Structure 1
Amino acid sequence: MPSTHTPYRLLSLALLATTVLFAGCASDQYFMVPKNDLNELHAQLHGQTAELSSLLVTATARHDSLSRQHQAQTEALLLNLSRQVDNFSCPPAPAPLACPQPSPMSQADRAAADRLKGKIIVGEREKILLADTGVVYTARIDSGAETSSLDARNITRFERDGKNWVRFDVPTPSTNKDEAPTFTTLEREIVRNVRIIQSNTDSYERRAVVELQFAIGNYQQKAEFTLSDREHLTFTVLIGRNILRDVALVDVGKEFTTEIPAELLKQMGNRK
């Protein structure tokens, strides 16, 4: 396709040639040109001018045609896009996934289930029933503590029949926070003593350890409890490894996974 600038360039050259020709004729030194050659030059100039005009018309027509074609393509594209927008719809919702059928228990799973038999699952906090007080306490489960601990006040050591005993008061939690707790006084033989080293001093505290009957869920047993004043702590009872070992599995992400049977509460005269 010829460039639209070509006709203008040729026309400029023709005008330049004409100017030079007439300028030469007007100068003091005349060019002697035969008349036939001058006529031929005029004829060529006239032909080039006509050719330039034709090229200019052709280029203008070509430009108009391309403009109309481009406009038509743009309008068609916009029309197609408008139709797509008008006909747009959301895709259908996916079908709900069906839950797979549980596979038969493998041998490893069956072995793990067998290991759980006879053990209770306990959470970070559990209800514990002390048979000697007949009271249900909220106990903290701490697998890091070797021995369980019980809040005991007014601890008094004494001797009975040549053996070391201890008298202590166990608080009974009140449902009303504004009321002072009541206490149950117990006397138990000391099975052993433990030395607790204080964290802020080099001295140690000698604490008595006694055996008490308790129940967690359906599990009932007698275990050792260290007597200490836990008034400044949240929980009256702390359950350690001496109770958890071989009988319980700890799930720290749960709480109150066990429930003391109502028949057992009635039998022990629970005073909640």
Structure 2
Amino acid sequence: MRPAWPRRLWRLSTGRFGVIVCAVILATAAAALLWTPFDPQHVDISARWEGPGWPHVLGTDGSGRDILSLVMSGARTTVFVAIGSAVIAIIIGMALAALGALTARWVRESVAVLVDILIAFPVLLIALMIAGVWGRSLWVVIWAVGIGFGVNIARVTRPELRRVLHSDFVVAGRASGLTPAQNLYRHLLPNVAPVFIVQVSWGMAVAVLAEAGLSYLGVGAPVTQPSWGLLLAELQQFLTVHPLSVLWPGLAITFTVLGLNLLGDALRDVTDPTLARADGRERAPEVIA
């Protein structure tokens, strides 16, 4: 039997919005791998600052580059950073959570102290420290967000693992001869999946903002890499003269982050049994301060 939560997710307006936005961004990034209307780095001085029209649907910048092509190429960078950060966060978060929940007491306490120390450092500060050592690169953003949100995943998931660890079905599994690894795979991970999925979706939203912000500051994507943050940094100098050009990368960042956050909220509502009604209809999302 297929799980009911995808249907419940689609019935939620926030879930539909998040799914549609994420699908559009993924489709745009995939299309940009094969085709863009123009070469994103092609300079055409004769086409400087053209308004939206044909053949430049979103207009051009001060170098005559096609803004639609730049936005499409920037989607590739955004998806790469979001997925790369999520993978690193998952590995770090689950490793720390498992160490903090399934090992000896002194190891658990050491992991708890390490997590408390690392979580005190904001993601952007971690990125700036890594950039000071390794220089300007997308990997700076990926590792910074991956480490920052991996620690956050560990902080949230570790208590859940500890709670499930002492539940009756886990104790019965241990008594029946299941190894710790088998218990982790069969019982522990499925029960912490709702919290885990939501944290990953929110971490990807932070990755999008971090990449745009760090690229805007000049420590994220290199100048040869199309990026929404870089595009904003270049176009904001002409905001008062050509305000429409800044609108497109700004909208792309806004809708992507909003879509990921709303998708995370919707996933929380449909995967957490305490937030779902018995008849399958979801209650209104709680407001998180």
TM-score scaled by structure 2? Answer: 0.20
Greater share of residues in helix: 2
Find the structure with the greater CA-based Rg.
1
Greater share of residues in strand: 1
TM-score scaled by structure 1? Answer: 0.21
